[in-house]
């Protein structure tokens, strides 16, 4: 009997499946690192995993806490610096990168800066970091959205997707030909970009999810592929690896925080001695 899995686990596994042998892959902390480690362990042992900090060809022991965490160093081939990592990206040596999304519009433009008014936001986000550089120059960018939203207009334009759609990205003259977002992977399905209009369309739905579940989250008339398919269910090996490597990612950080809080309060209450 196949193991049960969470939507968080399915999201990570779908992301990991985007990594192939011999690809140069830039990873960020969190979901991308877990997906990269999973890919290297299961189906792409010859993928070259790199951290933004300049640690090249890693085989992480556990999920790192930051881009320069020593846990990233197991089996590494060389260590350079942040500047050199971006130089490699600008020169076209990065095959695929992964970027988290807070807001995304129909053409794959991203907001990871602020929700609401920039000067007085509802939520202040981490900002651009290297996202704008990677989506501009990596050969392929895979977007991930765990708790973000689809919007007609971004609250803040952080990183460029296909700008106004069509040929607008290419005509701007600012980006290498062929670069830009390739897919968006969410907890409900997988989206791709139309080759002509560059607009997002739904190409896969995850098991147990309906097209209606996805359409209600999108504020424009979402196009659905004529060959819509269902995401292949995770294997037991994939699930087991995530649960060993990054249990917080497996359960979801909010649930982990809730469980940790309950444990703390329970232990604290047991220590209280009433007079």
The residues carrying an active-site annotation are 52
Beta carbons of 269 and 61 less than 8 angstroms apart: no
Q: Which helix or strand (DSSP H or E) is residue 8 part of?
A: helix 7-16
Selection from 213, 210, 242, 192 nearest residue 6 by Cα: 242
- Cα distance between residue 48 and residue 235, in whole Å: 23
Q: Which residue has the tokens 């990168």?
A: 97
- In sequence order, what DSSP letters do the residues of 179-239 get, joined into one string? -SEEEEEESSEEEEE-TTT--EEEEEE-TT--HHHHHTT-SS--EEEEEEEEPPPPPHHHH
Give Cβ neighbours of residue 26 (< 8 Å, ≥ 6 apart).
50, 51, 52, 85, 89, 94, 96, 97, 98, 130, 134, 138
**Which burial class, exposed, middle or buried, applies to 269 when counting CB atoms under 10 A from its CB (0-12, 13-18, 19+)?**
exposed
- Would you state the structure tokens that stand for residue 258, as one six-digit string? 């809730």
Q: The tokens of 134 are what?
A: 């990677």
Residue 74 near residue 60, CB atoms below 8 Å: yes
The region that residue 251 occupies, defined by phi over 0 for left and psi between -120 and 50 for alpha, beta otherwise, is: alpha
């Amino acid at each position: 009997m196949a193991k049960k899995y969470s939507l968080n686990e399915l999201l990570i596994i779908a992301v990991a499946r985007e990594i192939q042998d011999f690809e140069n892959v830039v990873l960020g902390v969190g979901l991308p690192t877990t997906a990269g480690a999973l890919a290297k362990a299961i189906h792409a042992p010859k993928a070259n995993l790199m951290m933004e900090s300049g640690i090249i060809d890693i085989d992480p022991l556990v999920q790192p806490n930051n881009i320069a965490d020593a846990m990233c160093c197991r089996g590494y081939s060389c260590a350079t610096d942040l500047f050199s990592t971006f130089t490699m990206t600008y020169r076209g040596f990065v095959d695929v990168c992964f970027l988290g999304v807070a807001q995304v519009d129909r053409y794959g433009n991203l907001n990871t800066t602020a929700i609401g008014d920039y000067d007085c936001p509802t939520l202040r986000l981490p900002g651009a970091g290297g996202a704008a550089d990677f989506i501009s120059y990596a050969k392929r960018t895979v977007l991930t959205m765990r708790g973000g939203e689809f919007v007609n207009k971004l609250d803040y334009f952080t990183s460029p997707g296909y700008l106004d759609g069509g040929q607008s990205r290419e005509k701007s003259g600012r980006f290498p030909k062929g670069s830009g977002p390739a897919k968006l992977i969410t907890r409900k399905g997988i989206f791709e970009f139309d080759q002509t209009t560059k607009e997002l369309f739904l190409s896969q739905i995850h098991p147990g999810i309906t097209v209606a579940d996805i359409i209600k989250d999108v504020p424009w008339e979402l196009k659905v592929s004529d060959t819509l398919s269902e995401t292949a269910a995770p294997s037991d090996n994939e699930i087991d690896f995530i649960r060993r490597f990054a249990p917080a990612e497996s359960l979801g950080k909010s649930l982990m925080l809730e469980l940790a809080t309950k444990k703390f309060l329970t232990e604290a209450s047991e220590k209280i001695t009433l007079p």
